[in-house]
Amino acid sequence: MSSAHQSLSKLPENLPNAGPYQFGIVVSEWNEEITGALLKGAIEALTLAGSKSELTVIKYVPGSFELTAGASLLLQNKNIDAIICLGCVIQGETRHFDFICDAVANGITQLSIQYNKPVIFGVLTPNTMQQAIDRAGGKYGNKGFEAGVTAIKMAHLFSA
């Protein structure tokens, strides 16, 4: 079912405690208004679930294309249990959007397989800035928050 008309930005009742895990977050500086809101949402989810903020490592990269390289750098830290990649690529008039989104999605998937650690795709791919705003704390919740919840679930799964 599409999440087009729903907000999933709340802690699920059965969410594991995030306290035992260390998280890394890689944030694109491009579309900073949106990615900053996504970061705020991710940190909120981790904190509400018991994560210790001093254990969360945050790195910034210039754009969404560089998220993969930033995540790879963080994955070299053996103490990090899950990485959250946050970015926003807004559809334009050229195929640039398709190339960037495809490269980032594939890169994140490959890193997760290569390092056997969860690397979470928290990259918005909207058609318009308004759609991005709606998903970065607007009427459809905060997809950064949802990425934080996903990171907790996956860190727990990988630790079992």
Give catalytic residue positions.
Answer: 96
The amino acid at 127:
N
Structural element, H or E, at residue 124:
strand 119-124
3-state secondary structure 64-94: HHHHHHHHHHHHCCCCCCEEEEEEECCCCCC
Burial 5-36 (b: 16+ CB within 10 A, else e): eebebeeeeebbebeebbbbbbbbebbeebbb
136's tokens: 């970065």
